[in-house]
Amino acid sequence: MDSVASRPVTAIYPGSFDPVTNGHLDLITRASNIFDKLVVAVAHNLEKDPLFSEKERVEMLETATFKWVNVEIDVFDGLLMDYARAKKAGVIVRGIRAVSDYEYELQMAMMNRKIEPDIETVFMLPAEQYSYLSSRLVKELARLGGPIRDFVPANVQERLSAKFK
Ligand code: PNS
């Protein structure tokens, strides 16, 4: 068996990505620099009613991440830990923007550890300028005609403008 140090590590960055923001992309950059392979996994079954379809969310991510060779975009359904096992992933990446994110993320990470103790959750911090950014706020801004240019990549800006024109 390979030693831990020499084994390539696949990490999964799961989320709704409704839509992907520059904060997500900042995290993807950081995580893809650390792990050998990063799978950005779009949740298929959302309790929230998404603005964008699964296909649209995947397309936006694919366009925004085409330059990263070790980043793959995928969709998952059901339990994240079942998906992570199937992908032979060793790590789940989640972003923490502020203390307010921590409680929910901690609960999720501990539950995921109970389900699958061999998969670690790694919390990463986005750049400071994205610490207040969320997909929810971006959608609200777009719906009300506010400025979204600094918060999402160009392809997402176009899709948001089309949704709310
Ligand atoms: O971007 P989000 O909405 O914060 O992502 C949350 C997501 C999709 C990562 C989380 O809800 C999830 O992992 N869902 C899959 C179902 C699952 O495994 N639930 C148990 C988690 S403890």
Q: Please confirm, yes or no, whether 24 is among the known catalytic residues.
A: yes
Whether the per-residue pLDDT at 4 is higher than 90: the answer is no
Four-residue CA torsion sign, 145, 17, 98, 108: positive
What pLDDT, on the 0 to 100 scale, is given for residue 162?
95
Q: Please confirm, yes or no, whether 97 is among the known catalytic residues.
A: yes
Supply the residue whose CA is at minimum distance from atom 22 of ligand 1. 108
Active-site annotation holder among 85, 87, 97, 163: 97
Whether the per-residue pLDDT at 21 is higher than 70: the answer is yes
Q: Please confirm, yes or no, whether 143 is among the known catalytic residues.
A: no
Residues 6+ apart with CB under 8 A from 75: 41, 42, 43, 44, 54, 58
Supply the residue whose CA is at minimum distance from atom 10 of ligand 1. 15
Up-side HSE of residue 48: CA atoms within 13 Å toward CB? 13
Kindly report the CA angle at 57 between 51 and 60, in degrees rounded to 5? 120
Q: Strand, helix or coil at 152?
A: coil
Active-site annotation holder among 44, 48, 136, 143: 48
- What residue ranges define each of the domains in the chain, with the CATH number in brackets? 2-163 (3.40.50.620)
Q: Whole-structure pTM over 0.85, yes or no?
A: yes
Instruction: List pLDDT tens digits, range 44-60.
Output: 977 779 999 999 999 99
Per-residue pLDDT band at 3 (split at 50, 70, 90): low
Nearest atom in ligand 1 to 81's CA:
18
Pocket around ligand 1 at a 6 A CB cut-off = 14-16, 43, 79-80, 108, 111-112
Residues 6+ apart with CB under 8 A from 32: 38, 68, 70, 71
Active-site annotation holder among 32, 57, 94, 135: 135
Closest CA to 28 of 141, 17, 18: 17
15 Cα to the center of ligand 1, angstroms:
6
Instruction: List pLDDT tens digits, range 133-151.
Output: 999 999 999 999 999 999 9
What pLDDT, on the 0 to 100 scale, is given for residue 165?
82
Instruction: List pLDDT tens digits, range 67-104.
Output: 999 999 999 999 999 999 999 999 999 999 999 999 99
Mean pLDDT across 10-21: 98
Kindly report the CA angle at 134 between 133 and 139, in degrees rounded to 5? 115
Strands annotated E in 20-62: 37-43
